[in-house]
Amino acid sequence: MNTKELMIGDLIQSDLGTIYRIKGVRDFEGGEVLVNTGKADIWYQCTLINPIPLTPEILEKNGFVKSTIEEDVYNFPNNNKALKERGFALDYHGYGRWFITDHNLMKILYVHQLQHALRLCGLDEIANNFTI
């Protein structure tokens, strides 16, 4: 992965499949991200990390609900206080992997991309507390 694609708080996985939350990013000599291993913080080479594919299971774990009207569509409940205050509706359409926010379409394939979209909507708390 490229460091320019990443932000502090993003979730990524190592080449061995371990999930990490990014604590820092530095873009030199191929780029590195700072992650916590559970024992210590380490700098991890970006050539050894991969994005996490967005799946229905991950969406459900983070509060998205499968639509009862449309197949392969997940909605983030409109009763969410942060969303209501901003007038947003979040929907994920699995067919083309489209994420809709306030009538804008974004192609989202990976967890870190959804985290970025949430942050752009001012939903930092949701983005930074996203789980796998």
Sign of CA dihedral 111, 112, 115, 121: negative
Residues 26-69: tens digit of each pLDDT: 888 779 999 988 889 999 898 999 999 988 899 889 888 888 88
Instruction: Give the amino acid at 52.
Output: I
Residues 65-118: tens digit of each pLDDT: 888 887 777 777 655 666 666 666 666 777 555 665 556 667 788 999 989 988
Q: Are strands 41-45 and 98-101 parallel, antiparallel or unpaired?
A: unpaired
3-state secondary structure of 89: coil
User: For residue 63, what are the contacts with CB-CB under 8 A and spacing of at least 6?
Assistant: 76, 77, 80, 126
DSSP 79: T
